[in-house]
Amino acid sequence: MTIGDNLRRVKERIAMAAWRAGRDPAGVQLVVVSKGRTVEEIEEVLAAGHRVLGENRAQELRQKMPALPEDVEWHFIGHLQTNKVNMVVGKVRLIHSIDSLRLAEAVSSRACRMGTVQEVLLEVNVSGEANKFGVAPEEAEELVEKMLELPGLRVRGLMTMAPAWAAGEEARPYFRRLRELRDDIKRVFPEAALDSLSMGMTQDYEVAVEEGADLVRVGTAVFSG
């Protein structure tokens, strides 16, 4: 199967998962993860009509952006170091991976200097794994409150990753926990547009959609089938 065929199959599965959950499939955005992929591979995704891409590394983003059409909507989905903020802020629609107040402040400062507003998500380590980035669930509300006060930032919601060993149904409790956490925080800050949940990758994106994801980050299933 071609990359275009794989892409269509992923989108069909997203739609079916949304229907199972009583959701409109149009409310779920597929972010195709282009980490480690060549420009030629990415061009096959674009040729199939998809324009939303996610990069994990700031330097790789900087290298690929000039080689691809300007109408690509870029998302930054990997761990962002404060010294790489200048490579990302103002260049991507959404940063999924704010995991500390220090990073949020650096993004805010850069956005203000550029005269822009950067949309961001707070990354939450729902699984509690030591090797994962993200704040602990019990710290999320306080950090969201502080982020909402920063100029140049628009906090749109939360992001998480299920444990590496959890596939399919095993990931469901972690995604459900993030949705419940987001709903709790929305009740505390009703004026904030905390509508987005970025969760789900190749091994578990259908379950993530069933649990409320509106952003799923899928690479392997698109490029490798």
DSSP annotation of 67: G
CA gap 188, 121 in Å, rounded: 17
Residue 98: what pLDDT? 98
Quick one: pLDDT at residue 57?
97
Q: Which domain does 98 fall in, by range?
A: 3-223
Identify the CA nearest to 134 among candidates 94, 100, 172, 96. Answer: 100
Per the structure, the count of domains in the chain is 1
Q: How high is the pLDDT of residue 164?
A: 82
- Return the number of other C-beta atoms located less than 10 Å from residue 201's C-beta: 20
Nearest in space to 161 (alpha carbons), one of 218, 103, 110, 115: 218
pLDDT at position 2 is: 96
Beta strand residue intervals within the chain, DSSP E: 29-33, 52-55, 73-76, 94-98, 118-123, 153-159, 196-198, 215-218
The two three-digit tokens of residue 9, written as one number: 């199959």
> What Rg value do the Cα atoms of the chain yield, rounded?
17
Tokens of 82: 């404060």
Query: Tell me, what's the pLDDT at 128?
Result: 83
CA distances from 94 to 21, 88, 137, 156 (A): 25, 10, 21, 9
- Domain with 82 in it: what CATH number? 3.20.20.10
Residues of the chain with confidence (pLDDT) below 50: none
